[in-house]
């Protein structure tokens, strides 16, 4: 029954084919490029779904395939792919969301001049992300990791004529680069210590105890730094909100569902490494937990609809890291479960927001309002997304968030539990603030809203269904996902280390979570829906608190002054050094040579007598030399 998994390597190739076709024929195709992209991604999705279904059959072992690629001395580096539980799930998620976004973009990007270019980049991105998830070794992961970063850069800077978009693209690339550096060093260290890039071999080395504890911790933390960059955790979170300069479908695909999830995926796929180091797990958990509440607190005050969603993404990713970090089989499952549900409802939220933006031509929520009647489908799906993310029963988010809280509780991390619950409250609050400001009340905007075309609402509806139903794969009463995820080889390592978590221990925790979220919704309703409590209450009484949140805790300014400006000065200094010292030396050498040349040229003065004098001198030298060296002492001898 392995037959279908053998062809898993084809899954990334269809989007690559789409990329090549669109690059070659984009100009002729124009909006037909969408059809190419959609079709080939659909084929990929079909194949991914079949592979996933195959993995469901019990007894299917992890499938791995590799080719020798490079030989350096004794070491052989291979390229290949593997299919295991985590992979298969990611393949389905990525292809499905990519497919839906591409369908949506046909409507959203309609009329854009560079329409084929957009689909090109989307196809390239899909290829890279799919390649990343089926990689069996760290080197391949790194290659696709960088490719994904490049695609993000291209897509964020899609509107390259806007200076903010250019700056945002650069920022995204550079900030993630910092994370990538950590990842790269981690990979190099692991290669140095274990002699291989392959996951299987690295995990074996750890299991056999070949690595010292400090080595494992260091490598794990460095790999986590890479994840921090890509997933926008504190302190490398600053690029994600700015990346909203890209078109909304891009935000939905990359910065909500897939690329930012790559960080979480990385931690999950190298989980045996983290399992072996408590310190690394703590780092993951605390960074994740802090980020969750930090980003949520910023999202409370933002005006731009996409930025609120961006901070929400950062916050939810923090949740996933928190879950992975508190250890335990429960944490691993909860983190990956939330990854899946988040992909669906966040993509839904972004696409719905895009639909709104497309209609009213503004992104400022204070200029929207009263769109419920004018855009019913969008409004309904957005509401479903908000309910899902706020964790209301029985939507998907409820089950996954509750799984995380349970895992944290089981691990007895009460400090983190408090952080998580407060962050949940904030999440519910700001999401519904967004909802009420956008859809309820009187229209404040200048443009009349109208419903978006079917090609855009279709994906919204599909994602809404998933946002409702995806949670049921892992309820406490029927933990299908848990059993399935932990049945693979990685799962065995985890359960061996931590034992099988009972998964969802306390029923009271479910109730508490639900209540907290409902509280947030009610507060938002009172402040923004019915306006019983004035929205300006806090900004007026505690302006500094409001400013802290609105200005994102001034972190961007801090980075600019502490890091960017000194680096610019350093660059200037080095440029001057290069120009005057290095170039100066070269020019000096050249001028010295030229000087010597012109000096000697003066000897050619055209006068025969000078030449004669020189000849005489030469003759003298010759005679002296011969007389000194001739046989028998020569001239001056004896």
Partner 1 sequence: MTGEFLAFFILSLLTIGGAVFMISFTRVVHMVISLGITFISIAGLFILLDAEFIGVAQVLVYSGAISILMLFGIMLTKHDASDEGTGRSWKNIFSLVFVAGLFGLMFWGIQKTTWTAPPEGAAQAVSVKQLGVEIFTKYVIPFELASVLLLVALVGAIIMAKKEGDSE
Partner 2 sequence: MSVNITSYLLVALILFCVGLYGALTKRNAVVVLLSIELMLNAVNINLVAFAKYGLFPAVTGQIFTLFTMTVAAAEVAVGLAILIALYRNKVTVNVDEMDSMKR
Q: How far apart are CB 602 and partner 2 at their closest, in Å?
A: 8
Which CB, 537 or 613, lies closer to partner 2? 613
Q: Does residue 604 interact with partner 2 by CB under 8 A?
A: yes
Region of 175-183, 326-334, 406-414, 604-612 interacting with partner 1 (CB under 8 A):
604-612
Residues 74, 442, 608, 638: which binds partner 2 (CB under 8 A)? 608
Residues 616, 621, 622, 625: which binds partner 2 (CB under 8 A)? 616
DSSP string over 268-317: HHTHHHHHT-HHHHHHHHHHHHHHHHHHHHHHTT--BHHHHHHHHHHHHH
Q: Does residue 629 interact with partner 1 by CB under 8 A?
A: no
Could you give the 3-state DSSP secondary structure of residue 474?
A: strand
Distance CA 533, CA 67 (A): 65
Distance CA 638, CA 619 (A): 24
Distance CA 396, CA 469 (A): 6
Residues 446, 601, 632, 638: which binds partner 2 (CB under 8 A)? 601
How many residues touch partner 1 under the rule CB under 8 A: the total is: 13
Which CB, 508 or 636, lies closer to partner 1? 636
Q: Which helix (H) or strand (E) holds 437?
A: helix 414-439
Find which of partner 1, partner 2, none residue 617 binds, CB within 5 to 8 Å per kind. partner 1
Distance CA 426, CA 312 (A): 10
Q: How far apart are CB 578 and partner 2 at their closest, in Å?
A: 36
> 81 has which bridge partners?
65
DSSP string over 141-167: HHHHHHHHHHHHHHHHTTSTTSHHHHH
Phi, psi of 475 (to 5 degrees): -90, 160
Region of 147-155, 158-166, 346-354, 601-609 interacting with partner 2 (CB under 8 A):
601-609
Q: Does residue 599 interact with partner 2 by CB under 8 A?
A: no
Region of 70-78, 131-139, 458-466, 596-604 interacting with partner 2 (CB under 8 A):
596-604
Distance CA 463, CA 469 (A): 10
Indicate the length of the chain as a whole number.
638
* Residue 333 in tokens: 């499952």
Which CB, 209 or 597, lies closer to partner 2? 597
Q: How far apart are CB 616 and partner 2 at their closest, in Å?
A: 7
Which CB, 541 or 605, lies closer to partner 2? 605
Q: How far apart are CB 598 and partner 1 at their closest, in Å?
A: 18
Find which of partner 1, partner 2, none residue 636 binds, CB within 5 to 8 Å per kind. partner 1
Distance CA 463, CA 355 (A): 14
Which residues touch 376 (CB under 8 Å, ≥6 apart)? 451
**Among 60, 68, 120, 84, which residue's Cα sits nearest to residue 8?**
84
Find which of partner 2, partner 1, none residue 602 binds, CB within 5 to 8 Å per kind. partner 2
Residues 502, 568, 593, 627: which binds partner 1 (CB under 8 A)? 627
Distance CA 359, CA 377 (A): 13
Q: How many CB atoms lie within 10 A of CB 19?
A: 23
Q: How far apart are CB 611 and partner 2 at their closest, in Å?
A: 9
From the centroid of its chain, how far is CA 634?
87
Find which of partner 1, partner 2, none residue 606 binds, CB within 5 to 8 Å per kind. partner 2
Residues 506, 542, 587, 620: which binds partner 1 (CB under 8 A)? 620
Which CB, 73 or 606, lies closer to partner 2? 606
| Per-residue contact string for residues 3-22; x = within reach of partner 2 by CB under 8 A | --------------------
**Residue pointed to by tokens 């009263």:** 370
**Among 346, 337, 336, 340, which residue's Cα sits nearest to residue 314?**
346
Region of 189-197, 386-394, 584-592, 614-622 interacting with partner 1 (CB under 8 A):
614-622
DSSP one-letter code for 198? B
How many residues touch partner 2 under the rule CB under 8 A: the total is: 11
Q: How far apart are CB 603 and partner 1 at their closest, in Å?
A: 11
Distance CA 528, CA 444 (A): 14
Find which of partner 2, partner 1, none residue 572 binds, CB within 5 to 8 Å per kind. none
Q: How far apart are CB 621 and partner 2 at their closest, in Å?
A: 16
Q: How far apart are CB 618 and partner 1 at their closest, in Å?
A: 10
Find which of partner 1, partner 2, none residue 604 binds, CB within 5 to 8 Å per kind. partner 2
Phi, psi of 195 (to 5 degrees): 75, 15
Q: Does residue 613 interact with partner 1 by CB under 8 A?
A: yes
> 71 has which bridge partners?
76
Q: How far apart are CB 594 and partner 1 at their closest, in Å?
A: 23
Q: How far apart are CB 587 and partner 1 at their closest, in Å?
A: 32
**Among 280, 325, 341, 319, which residue's Cα sits nearest to residue 481?**
341
Q: How far apart are CB 603 and partner 2 at their closest, in Å?
A: 9
Q: How far apart are CB 587 and partner 2 at their closest, in Å?
A: 24
Q: 6 to 45, contacts with partner 1 by CB under 8 A?
A: none
Which CB, 412 or 602, lies closer to partner 2? 602
Which residues touch 167 (CB under 8 Å, ≥6 apart)? 242
Q: Half-sphere exposure (CA, 13 Å, Cβ side) for 551?
A: 13
Residues 3, 605, 631, 638: which binds partner 2 (CB under 8 A)? 605
Q: Which helix (H) or strand (E) holds 72?
A: strand 63-72
Q: Does residue 636 interact with partner 1 by CB under 8 A?
A: yes
Distance CA 213, CA 391 (A): 38
Distance CA 436, CA 438 (A): 5
Q: Does residue 70 interact with partner 1 by CB under 8 A?
A: no
Residues that bind partner 1 in the complex, under the rule CB under 8 A: 607, 609-610, 613, 616-617, 619-620, 623-624, 627, 635-636
Residues that bind partner 2 in the complex, under the rule CB under 8 A: 601-602, 604-609, 612-613, 616
């Amino acid at each position: 029954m392995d037959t279908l998994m053998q062809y898993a390597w084809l899954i990334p190739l269809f989007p690559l084919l789409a990329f090549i076709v669109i690059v070659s024929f984009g100009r002729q195709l124009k909006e037909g490029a969408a059809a190419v992209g959609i079709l080939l991604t659909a084929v990929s999705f079909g194949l991914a779904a079949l592979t996933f279904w195959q993995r469901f059959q019990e007894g299917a072992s992890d499938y791995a395939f590799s080719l020798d690629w490079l030989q350096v001395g004794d070491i052989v580096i291979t390229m290949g792919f593997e299919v295991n539980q985590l992979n298969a799930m990611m393949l389905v998620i990525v292809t499905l969301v990519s497919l839906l976004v591409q369908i949506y973009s046909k409507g959203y990007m309609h009329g854009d001049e560079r329409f084929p270019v957009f689909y090109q980049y989307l196809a390239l991105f899909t290829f890279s992300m799919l390649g990343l998830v089926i990689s069996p070794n760290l080197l391949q992961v790194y290659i696709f990791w960088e490719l994904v970063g490049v695609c993000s850069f291209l897509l964020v800077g899609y509107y390259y004529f806007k200076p903010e978009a250019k700056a945002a693209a650069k920022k995204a690339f550079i900030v993630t680069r910092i994370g990538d550096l950590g990842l790269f060093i981690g990979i190099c260290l692991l290669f140095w210590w274990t002699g291989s890039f392959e996951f299987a071999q690295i995990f074996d080395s750890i299991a056999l105890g070949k690595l010292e504890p400090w080595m494992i911790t260091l490598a794990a933390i460095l790999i986590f730094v890479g994840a921090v960059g890509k997933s926008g955790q504190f302190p490398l979170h600053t690029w994600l909100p700015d990346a909203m300069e890209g078109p909304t479908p891009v935000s939905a695909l990359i910065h909500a569902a897939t690329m930012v999830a790559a960080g979480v995926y990385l931690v999950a796929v190298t989980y045996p490494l983290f399992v072996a180091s408590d310190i690394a797990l703590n780092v993951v958990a605390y960074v994740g937990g802090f980020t969750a509440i930090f980003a949520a607190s910023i999202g409370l005050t933002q005006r731009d609809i996409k930025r609120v969603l961006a901070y929400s993404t950062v916050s939810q990713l923090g949740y996933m890291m928190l879950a992975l970090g508190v250890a335990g089989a429960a944490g691993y499952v909860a983190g990956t479960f939330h990854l899946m549900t988040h992909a669906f409802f966040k993509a839904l939220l972004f696409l719905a927001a895009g639909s709104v933006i497309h209609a009213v031509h503004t992104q400022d929520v204070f200029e929207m309002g009263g769109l419920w009647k004018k855009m019913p489908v969008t409004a309904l799906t957005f509401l479903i997304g908000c309910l899902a993310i706020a964790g209301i029963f029985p939507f998907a988010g409820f089950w996954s968030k509750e799984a995380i809280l349970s895992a944290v509780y089981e691990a007895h991390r009460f400090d983190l539990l408090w952080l998580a619950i407060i962050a949940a409250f904030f999440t519910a609050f700001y999401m519904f603030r967004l909802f009420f400001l956008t859809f309820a009340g009187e229209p404040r905007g200048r443009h009349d809203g109208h419903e978006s075309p079917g090609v855009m609402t279709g994906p919204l509806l599909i994602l809404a269904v998933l946002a409702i139903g995806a949670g049921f794969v892992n309820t406490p009463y029927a933990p299908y996902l848990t059993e399935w995820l932990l049945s693979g080889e990685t799962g065995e390592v985890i359960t061996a280390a931590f034992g099988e978590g009972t998964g969802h221990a306390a029923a009271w925790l479910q109730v508490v979570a639900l209540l907290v979220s409902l509280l947030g919704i009610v507060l938002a309703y009172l402040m923004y829906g019915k306006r019983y409590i004035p929205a300006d209450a806090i900004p007026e009484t505690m302006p500094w608190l409001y400013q802290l949140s609105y200005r994102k805790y001034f972190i961007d300014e801090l980075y600019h002054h502490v890091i960017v400006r000194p680096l610019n000065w350093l660059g200037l200094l080095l440029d001057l050094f290069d120009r005057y010292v290095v170039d100066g030396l070269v020019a000096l050498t050249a001028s010295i040579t030229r000087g010597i040349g012109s000096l000697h040229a003066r000897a050619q003065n055209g006068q025969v007598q000078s030449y004669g004098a020189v000849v005489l001198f030469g003759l003298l030298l010759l005679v002296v030399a011969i007389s000194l060296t001739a046989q028998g002492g020569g001239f001056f001898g004896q």
